[in-house]
Amino acid sequence: MPPAAPSLGTDPVKPGKPEVKPYLSEADAPDPLRILSPPPAHHSPLDNADHAAFNATRSLKGSARWNLAANDVSEGSLAVLENFACVLGTRLDQARVPATLNLLDRARLDLARATRIPKVHYRRLRPFVGNEAPICVQRTQTLTDSFSYPSGHATQGWAYALIMAALVPEKTTDILARGRTYGESRIVCGVHYPSDVMAGRTNGAAVFAALLGDSTFRNDMDKARAELRAALAGGGTAPDRALCARESEALKEPPIEF
């Protein structure tokens, strides 16, 4: 069965580069099976609401919100810089922010571990399984087998938003709003239920809280904060206006009701 998250034995972002290690040891990592509630029971009110949300959001195909969800499929440290480019007002050159990328790359492995454990334990099927409703990505066996609860994108997206908000505190509100929308894109996309995304936020926040207790992570945060401050002050390539306009339009829409 394909893994639900990146392997801890390889660098998922820069293949061929020296292996990136997670910050947290097994002993220090939070236990998602104790932190997260189980997914909604089959045909329970919450499960019915999840299915209703999937059915309702299929009508968004072709909308600005759907296009943003398709754009949000990308994940990882480089993707997060692109995802927050409109919020930051700058497309950051990866060559200028190596400490930031290292921080996000290492944290991603901690997030991958926290996601994989409950996915494999609960084995909840994704909402598109067993129907032909449109989704914003290609249907593959790998995607089908990676399970739905919790959302890995929402876990990573919310944790990355918390990290970025701590690094650029003057942009906290905009960053966290974008992080919320990034997770909700998985509902729009049709690959996760609302409860998967909510659990992903909790999961990401739990990992971020544990990371704050790690001295190496805190030191790397300080390096990244100074690096980002210099990079943003020095200017950079302006983000794509059309993309930012579409993002702004999508963000004006009411949050998806859970």
Q: Is 186 a catalytic residue?
A: yes
How many helices (DSSP H) and strands (DSSP E) are in the chain? 12, 0
Q: Is 196 a catalytic residue?
A: yes
What is the C-alpha separation between 118 and 153, in angstroms, rounded? 14
In the set 11, 192, 201, 214, the catalytic residue is 192
What is the C-alpha separation between 152 and 174, in angstroms, rounded? 22
In the set 106, 116, 153, 178, the catalytic residue is 153
What is the C-alpha separation between 13 and 116, in angstroms, rounded? 17
Sequence length of the chain is 258
Q: Is 192 a catalytic residue?
A: yes
In the set 72, 110, 174, 196, the catalytic residue is 196
The string of DSSP codes covering 47-99 is HHHHHHHHHHHGGGTTSHHHHHHHHTT--SHHHHHHHTHHHHTSB--GGG-HH
In the set 106, 113, 180, 186, the catalytic residue is 186
Q: Is 43 a catalytic residue?
A: no
What is the C-alpha separation between 206 and 34, in angstroms, rounded? 11
Sign of CA dihedral 244, 249, 250, 254: positive
What is the C-alpha separation between 190 and 229, in angstroms, rounded? 37
Q: Which sequence positions are flagged as catalytic?
A: 153, 186, 192, 196
